[in-house]
């Protein structure tokens, strides 16, 4: 089961990497959000241990889905691909994606979402990639 999920996420990442990142930012399946990172140990809202590759969003109905994150450029266009994360946690505000990172990697993640003048603003695409 876990191998199928990893394969599905890998294929999803490959498919996404071929997208036109200059696509119209008004595309309805993109959510405007602010990205943050957390590194606290413990269990997620779904009952799993925190680990790399997961994130939290405010809507508990999104648990089990996948969030694909891109920079939101100052002009509103889609910037660089940041990452793909399994939504396994809640507890953050509306329009926030909170990505779990190791303490060592938190700064690197935040650097990505703040580069190019993005100020932590991202686009999130929700994908139902349950495996």
- Find the CATH number of the domain harbouring 81: 2.40.40
Q: Which of these, 25, 31, 36, 26, lies nearest to 93 by C-alpha position?
A: 36
Rounded to whole angstroms, the Cα distance separating 87 from 104 reads 21
Q: What is the pLDDT of residues 38-95, one digit of tens each?
A: 999 999 999 999 999 999 999 999 999 999 999 999 999 999 999 999 999 998 889 9
Rounded to whole angstroms, the Cα distance separating 17 from 68 reads 10
Both tokens assigned to 86: 């399994």
Our count of domains for the chain comes to: 1
**Domain range holding 8?**
2-127
Q: What is the pLDDT of residues 36-45, one digit of tens each?
A: 999 999 999 9
Q: pTM of the entire structure?
A: 0.76
Q: Which of these, 113, 107, 103, 35, lies nearest to 67 by C-alpha position?
A: 35
């Amino acid at each position: 089961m876990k191998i199928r999920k990893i394969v599905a996420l890998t294929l999803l990442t490959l498919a996404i990497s071929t997208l036109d990142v200059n696509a119209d930012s008004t595309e309805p399946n993109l959510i405007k959000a602010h990205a943050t990172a957390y590194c606290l140990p413990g269990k997620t809202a779904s009952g799993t241990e925190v680990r790399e590759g997961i994130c939290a969003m405010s809507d508990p109905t999104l648990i089990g889905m996948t969030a694909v994150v891109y920079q939101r450029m100052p002009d509103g266009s889609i910037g660089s691909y940041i990452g793909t994360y399994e939504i396994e946690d809640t507890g953050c505000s509306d329009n926030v994606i909170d990505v779990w990172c190791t303490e060592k990697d938190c700064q690197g993640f935040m650097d990505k979402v703040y580069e190019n003048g993005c100020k932590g603003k991202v686009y999130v695409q929700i994908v139902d990639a349950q495996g």
